[in-house]
């Protein structure tokens, strides 16, 4: 908050007059100031002295040298001390020569010249960066302080010069921007039901608004100085230009439509406030109860009725808690005074509620606003705030929905990124296909002929049982002797070799399960004493495995040995 608001808060809590230094120390200790600055004591003294010299809306008074109190306390004012505070402040050591100790400079050398230059450039860059990042207090607060200290109106350029000397404003701030900031501050105060702070005299100089001139004349003077249109008691400020370099004509239309919607909402709020002020108190009470129901208040009951309006009790769930409320509907359209807020806080204690709410159609005075914020907070819906609550709850108004369309550039940027990603993937797939399509060297002829011979032998082995025909198969089944086990092991090894080489070898086998068929022959294996095709094996050859004659046949058949032909 500002120095003036912090001083009011500290004085209300202290209950006795305090010096400007004590007020400053307590404000800093409680963290009330939004901007402290280099000399907060001097700033606090100048602000309080300026507010004590005001002819109206004065809440502080001077009781002694650099000592202030609230006007509500009724303490006598010290005019001599107030006049002494108007004199410019001079530091006691300002006329003395500067005190500098003896400095030791390094011995100048050639190798140090380049390093010193770099340090100087780095120091300048740091200072420029620090100046860019520095935060300054609000412009209306600075102007209020400077104009309060001045004895006569000041031009806008003079105000900026004084602010820059105290390092309270940037060098980029121009007089036009200063006037716009002050006009906007005046408009905010007018909308809140308060008097404006700043005015322009006929010569174009700035001053604090001290007389009771109409608000429209004060704002019209700012409009003439800024060369801006003035309609319905308000200054029509220029809308900022769109920052996009390729802004389309449709963007301006959408921006104008949004501005029109906001202006229509403000106009509806003003009309609703005026209509509420023209209604009878009973009608206002019923309308407020319906508005509270729409804002999720329940169990609304009338606790008592008085000359200042009815007192209601209600419940409302806020997050995980259910709070009890006392609601006072203020009677009449006059401004809300401090006593009404105090009565509402007293009702909060009597009803053992958690929160208090004051509803009024009039404006809230400055003393009532401070009272609502001190101690236990009291919620106040008054004037424009009450109209906004009616709009928020959609009570007493009809909501008209409008569709506004504007170009979504982010959507097309995302589509462009997706197209680029798809093109990159297509190029990668095309490159991979080209790499796979490269010619492969043919195998050597010798290796190919050797593989063909092996394949032919395997094919001959597979065709052996087929050439024997059904009669050979039956004869093999009848001869099931001791050599059947050896033939089964040899057939198993052949099948494993065929699997390893990728050949199945079971397409021409005899019918499985046929009566009298040898399992080894049915699997495509030749008898132990011959070669495929019924040819005799060469001399000296012997079967790979042969069972002894005394071994019993596994299939339970006869133990006759096959011919060795």
For 19, counting Cβ atoms within 10 Å of its Cβ (0-12 exposed, 13-18 middle, 19+ buried), the class is: middle
pLDDT, tens only, 320-351: 889 999 999 988 888 888 888 888 888 888 88
Residue 495 CA to residue 524 CA, distance in Å, equals 9
In a domain, 152, yes or no: yes
Cα radius of gyration rounded to whole Å, the chain: 51
Domain boundary among 350, 369, 392: 392
State how far the alpha carbon of 144 is from the alpha carbons of 50, 148, 334, 504, in Å. Answer: 9, 6, 29, 102
Which helix (DSSP H) or strand (DSSP E) does residue 388 occupy? helix 384-392
Task: List the 67-70 sheet strands across, edge first.
Answer: 18-19, 67-70, 60-64
In a domain, 165, yes or no: yes
In the chain, the number of structural domains is: 3
- The answer to whether the predicted template modeling score (pTM) of the entire model surpasses 0.75 is no
Q: Do 221 and 301 fall into the same domain?
A: no
The structure tokens listed for 273 are 């406030």
In a domain, 413, yes or no: no
140-144, 303-307, 437-441: least confident range: 437-441
Q: Do 226 and 307 fall into the same domain?
A: no
Q: Do 285 and 388 fall into the same domain?
A: yes
The structure tokens listed for 267 are 């106009």
pLDDT, tens only, 202-258: 888 888 876 677 878 888 888 888 888 887 778 877 655 444 444 444 567 777 888
Domain boundary among 365, 392, 419: 392
142-151, 196-205, 246-255, 314-323: least confident range: 246-255
Q: Do 283 and 383 fall into the same domain?
A: yes
Q: Do 383 and 291 fall into the same domain?
A: yes
Q: Do 228 and 173 fall into the same domain?
A: yes
pLDDT of residue 108: 61
Three-class DSSP category at 360: strand
Which CATH number does the domain housing residue 334 bear? 3.40.1350.10
Domain boundary among 392, 411, 435: 392
Three-class DSSP category at 230: strand
In a domain, 560, yes or no: no
Beta strand 230-231 with 379-382 is unpaired
Q: Do 289 and 230 fall into the same domain?
A: no
Q: Do 218 and 158 fall into the same domain?
A: yes
In a domain, 156, yes or no: yes
Domain residue limits at 41 = 3-85
In a domain, 309, yes or no: yes
Smallest CA-to-CA distance from 219 within 251, 195, 243, 250 is with 195
Other Cβ atoms closer than 10 A to 336: 27
Smallest CA-to-CA distance from 291 within 381, 196, 189 is with 381
In a domain, 103, yes or no: no
Which residue in the block uniquely carries the two structure tokens 């006869």? 558
In a domain, 450, yes or no: no
pLDDT, tens only, 343-387: 888 888 888 899 999 999 888 888 888 888 888 888 999 988 888
**Residue pair 219/190 in contact by the 8 Å Cβ criterion:** yes
Smallest CA-to-CA distance from 156 within 199, 217, 196, 190 is with 199
State how far the alpha carbon of 185 is from the alpha carbons of 143, 179, 198, 509, in Å. Answer: 11, 10, 9, 104
Beta strand 355-360 with 321-329 is parallel
Q: Do 291 and 190 fall into the same domain?
A: no
């Amino acid at each position: 908050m500002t120095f003036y608001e912090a001083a009011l808060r500290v004085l209300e809590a202290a209950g006795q007059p305090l010096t400007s230094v004590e007020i400053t120390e307590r404000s800093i200790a409680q963290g009330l100031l939004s901007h402290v600055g280099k000399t907060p004591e001097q700033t606090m003294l100048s602000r309080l002295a300026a507010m004590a010299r005001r002819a109206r809306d004065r809440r502080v008074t001077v009781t002694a040298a650099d000592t202030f109190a609230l006007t509500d306390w009724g303490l006598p004012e010290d005019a001599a001390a107030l006049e002494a505070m108007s004199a410019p402040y001079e530091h006691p050591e300002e006329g003395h020569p500067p005190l500098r100790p003896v400095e030791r400079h390094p011995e100048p050398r050639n190798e140090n010249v380049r390093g010193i230059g770099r340090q100087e450039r780095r120091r300048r860059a740091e200072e420029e960066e620090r100046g860019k990042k520095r935060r300054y207090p609000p412009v209306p607060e600075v102007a209020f302080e400077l104009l309060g200290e001045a004895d006569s109106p000041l031009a806008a350029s003079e105000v900026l010069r004084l602010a820059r000397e105290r390092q309270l404003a940037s060098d980029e701030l121009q007089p036009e921007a200063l006037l716009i900031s002050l006009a906007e501050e005046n408009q905010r105060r007018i909308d809140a039901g308060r008097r404006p702070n700043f005015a322009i005299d006929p010569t174009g100089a700035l001053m604090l608004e001290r007389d009771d001139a109409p608000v429209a004349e004060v704002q019209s003077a700012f409009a003439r100085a800024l060369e801006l249109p003035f309609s319905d008691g308000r200054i029509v400020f220029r809308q900022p230009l769109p920052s996009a370099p390729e802004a389309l004509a449709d963007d301006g239309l959408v921006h104008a439509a949004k501005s029109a919607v906001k202006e229509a909402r403000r106009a509806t709020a003003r009309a609703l406030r005026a209509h509420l002020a023209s209604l009878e108190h009973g009608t206002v009470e019923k309308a407020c109860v319906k508005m509270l129901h729409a804002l999720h208040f329940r169990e609304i009951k009338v606790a008592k009725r008085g000359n200042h309006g009815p007192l209601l009790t209600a419940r409302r769930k806020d997050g995980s808690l259910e709070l009890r409320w006392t609601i006072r509907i203020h009677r009449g359209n006059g401004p809300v005074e401090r006593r009404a807020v105090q009565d509402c806080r007293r009702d909060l204690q009597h009803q053992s509620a958690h929160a208090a709410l004051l509803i009024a159609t009039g404006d809230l005075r400055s003393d009532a606003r401070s009272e609502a914020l001190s101690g236990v907070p009291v919620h106040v819906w008054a004037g424009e705030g009450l109209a906004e609550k009616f709009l928020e709850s959609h009570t007493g108004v009809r909501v008209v929905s409008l569709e506004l369309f504007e170009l979504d550039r982010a959507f097309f940027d995302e589509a462009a990124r997706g197209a680029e990603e798809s093109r990159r993937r297509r190029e990668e797939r095309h490159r991979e296909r080209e790499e796979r399509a490269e010619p492969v060297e043919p195998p050597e002829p010798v290796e190919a002929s050797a593989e063909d011979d092996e394949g032919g032998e395997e094919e001959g082995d597979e065709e052996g049982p087929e050439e024997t025909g059904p009669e050979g198969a039956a004869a093999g089944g009848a001869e099931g002797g001791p050599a059947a086990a050896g033939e089964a092991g040899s057939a198993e090894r052949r099948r494993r070799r065929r699997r390893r080489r990728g050949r199945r070898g079971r397409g021409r086998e005899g019918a499985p399960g046929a009566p009298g068929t040898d399992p080894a022959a049915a699997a495509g294996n030749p008898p132990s004493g011959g070669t495929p095709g019924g040819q005799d094996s060469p001399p000296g050859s012997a079967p790979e495995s042969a069972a002894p004659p005394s071994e019993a046949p596994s299939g339970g058949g006869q133990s006759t040995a096959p011919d060795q032909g």
